[in-house]
Chains A and B, each alone.
Chain A
Amino acid sequence: MTLEVALRATELLLALAFLQQSAEHIFGHRDRLLFAPRAGLSLLLLAGIHSPWVLLALTAHSMLILRRYQGPYNGGSDRMGLLILFCLCLAYWLPDGLPTEAAFGYLAVQVLLSYLISGQVKLANPDWRNGRALQDVFRFSAYPVAESLRALANRPRVLWCASWVVMIFEVLFPISLLNLKLLVMALIAATAFHVANAMLFGLNRFVWAWIAAYPSIIWLQFRLFP
């Protein structure tokens, strides 16, 4: 995958992620005026019209959104969206060559670290290792989308297995960079993981935000191991 193709793919996926978020605000009647400009700019990005300027405008507009909510509205998914936006913006506005590659490569490394560090933190936590953390999530947290899902807290063996699958997958994820086929399989598994989180905990925006960053990892794989 060439840098140009990866940048364009990231642009398209980010535009779709922003459109999905904006639609939830505009048609869900929450801060519709704030998100209408983001939707408009995302459509321009989708069409590929003056992308560098559109990315710059989206970056400036994101500052308004951050100010409105005194931080991210949707936690990690907003942070990932901003990271992609900033890296894309830098990749377009920095001189061609190494600076552009460094900006886009930084995004790929951050995504790899997002899995690695998340897995490492869980592994270091005894409650994750014995499955109790996931039990607590289902029993006490505000995240399960249906009360019926709370019954999963009474399935400790299932949750212990799920905890270890998630931890092992997350810490081993960066190794997939060594081989393209392995990476594709890891990205499919990661997508399934995010979709499962969306189904169980309603974290739908995370799916689109993380998928938007995947072209950067695929490009980095091509770049490091041609």
Chain B
Amino acid sequence: MIRRLFWNPDWNDTLFVVSCAERIQENPTEHNIAEIKRRISEDVSQGAFQFRLVFVHRDGEDIVFVSDVFPLT
């Protein structure tokens, strides 16, 4: 836990992705979609992918955004 005070890059990047998701919910922009797309594509090796944003709350969950399908090159 103490280490996290000084070094927490992956978590901070996750928080940035959360910010991008919130920005997309308010107003989808190419930039924010590209940020999430870039991070997913780093973990997907072949084929194509699509992502959706699901916001969870007390009364259930809402799908707030569904992306295009992105082929991997």
- Cβ of A57 < 8 Å from any Cβ of B? no
Instruction: Report yes or no: A202 in contact with B9, Cβ–Cβ below 8 A.
Output: no
> From B32, which residue of chain A is reached at the shortest CB distance?
A70
- Of the candidates B4, B12, B56, the one having the most CB atoms from chain A within 10 angstroms of its own CB is B12
> From A24, which residue of chain B is reached at the shortest CB distance?
B9
- Looking at A4-12, A25-33, A88-96, A107-115, the stretch in contact with chain B turns out to be A25-33
* A75-B10 contact, Cβ under 8 Å, with A145-B4, A198-B5, A204-B4: no
* A23-B15 contact, Cβ under 8 Å, with A70-B31, A140-B57: no
Q: Give every chain B residue within 8 A of A24 (Cβ-Cβ).
A: 7-9, 12
Instruction: Report yes or no: A74 in contact with B4, Cβ–Cβ below 8 A.
Output: no
* A30-B4 contact, Cβ under 8 Å, with A140-B56, A140-B58, A142-B18: no
Instruction: Report yes or no: A199 in contact with B12, Cβ–Cβ below 8 A.
Output: no
> From A72, which residue of chain B is reached at the shortest CB distance?
B19
Interface of B is mostly: helix
- Cβ of A176 < 8 Å from any Cβ of B? no
Instruction: Report yes or no: A142 in contact with B29, Cβ–Cβ below 8 A.
Output: no
- Cβ of B49 < 8 Å from any Cβ of A? no
Q: Give every chain B residue within 8 A of A198 (Cβ-Cβ).
A: 4-5, 8
* A202-B19 contact, Cβ under 8 Å, with A28-B13, A30-B13, A70-B32: no
Instruction: Report yes or no: B18 in contact with A204, Cβ–Cβ below 8 A.
Output: no
Q: Which of A114-141 contact B (CB under 8 A)?
A: 136, 140
- Of the candidates B5, B10, B32, the one having the most CB atoms from chain A within 10 angstroms of its own CB is B5
The distance in angstroms between the C-alpha atoms of A28 and B15, with both chains bound, is 15
* A202-B12 contact, Cβ under 8 Å, with A23-B7, A136-B58, A195-B5: yes
> From B58, which residue of chain A is reached at the shortest CB distance?
A136
Residues of A within 8 A of B (CB): 20, 23-25, 27-28, 30, 69-75, 136, 140, 142-143, 145, 195, 198-199, 202-205, 207
